[in-house]
Amino acid sequence: MAIERRPFGRLPDGRDVDLFTLSSGEVEVQATNYGGIITSIKVPDSRGEIGDIVHGFETLEMYLQGCPYFGSLVGRYANRIGGARFTLDGVEYRLAKNDGENSLHGGFKGFDKVLWDAEIHGCALRLRYLSRDGEEGFPGSLESTVTYNLDEGGVFSIEYEAKTDKPTVVNLTNHTYFNLSCGGDVLGHELMLDSDYFTPAGKDLIPTGEVKSVAGTSMDFRNPTRIGTHIDSRDEQLINGHGYDCNWIINGEAGKLRRAATVRDLESGRAMVVVTTQPGIQFYTGNFLDGSLRGKGRIYARRSGLCLETQHYPDSPNQPGFPSAVLRPGEKYHEKTVFRFYAG
């Protein structure tokens, strides 16, 4: 196993950006310290042919031109906060409105658009960023550390840690778009979610605060199901999201590693299992991709990629019935997500 570091470009303010390659056997992961972006994951198919299974670009300049969070670390609060505001300890905090009236993925300049300090620790890449008090409206100076690790068996893990000097809210995730067939759409992929319940959302994709059973709905992925089977049904959640874009509650005890999702492409034979400590997972089918973005020789068309964002629930700061996303001084935020790849 090894990590290679090389230049990836320069930001408009003159700071240099690097690209890191983590290699282990037939699995290779590339990531940059700009936004913590995972630019490439290469794994074999059932015939042993190596393919890149994630959306991304070849150059830093293409990322700087704007993209829908391809491969990015997302924070300080991943997903949406309704009304771009929340109240903590009797104080109301107003956030950047970058999704209609709501705040999405940390605001206009979230963690996906900052340069992280990078260190190589053996076979792990450690990224650090200090988000200052008041950045994008969030209280407290938040020190975040994210570690990418690829072990001898080709298992890729992301570990999130954070601490604060003032009560705040935090929800970190990664927003990689996967396509196990390395092209085309993902409607033929089979998905299984280890989830009996989901949190329905309204037209603005803000949770209603309810928790509903997946039984008898288009949200039921407890058994392997083709993603395209119900995606265009008249289910209210699918209409609101223009496809799948919702939070599922992962079975089992939050805080402990347990399986959240399994996705398989029958054509290539590739499969991926997602294991996490997080309480929820956002399954998104790239509904707003429109073919205007191109990278690595591909056109990123609608539903050409799927996201499995392990997370705290959307709008948790405004939903007292949801697991708390509050972090206080002296406490440690610590979550982990593991990706295991298979072929054949």
- Residue 127 has a CB neighbour count (10 Å cut-off) of 22
CB 230 within 8 A of CB 270: no
The candidate with the shortest Cα–Cα distance to 149, out of 236, 8, 24, 242, is 24
CA distance 23 to 18: 16
| CA separation, residue 2 to residues 24, 120, 340 (Å) | 7, 10, 18
Side chain identity, residue 77: Y
What are the helix (H) ranges across the chain?
60-64, 236-241
CA distance 226 to 192: 9
Q: Which two tokens stand for residue 220?
A: 């039921």
Residue by residue, what is the 3-state secondary structure of 27-46?
A: EEEEEECECCCEEEEEEECC
Catalytic residue numbers? 175, 309
Using left for φ > 0, alpha for ψ between -120 and 50, and beta otherwise, residue 188 falls in alpha
Q: DSSP secondary-structure letter at 323?
A: P
Task: Tell me which long-range contacts 251-257 makes (C-beta under 8 A, separation of at least 24).
Answer: 251/194, 251/195, 251/196, 252/194, 254/278, 254/279, 254/323, 257/336, 257/338
Q: Across-strand partners of 117?
A: 128
Measured in whole angstroms, the distance separating CA 218 from the mean position of its chain's CA atoms is: 22
Q: What angle do CA 148, 150, 156 make, to 5 degrees?
A: 75
Q: Which two tokens stand for residue 37?
A: 């972006």
The candidate with the shortest Cα–Cα distance to 274, out of 251, 285, 258, 254, is 258
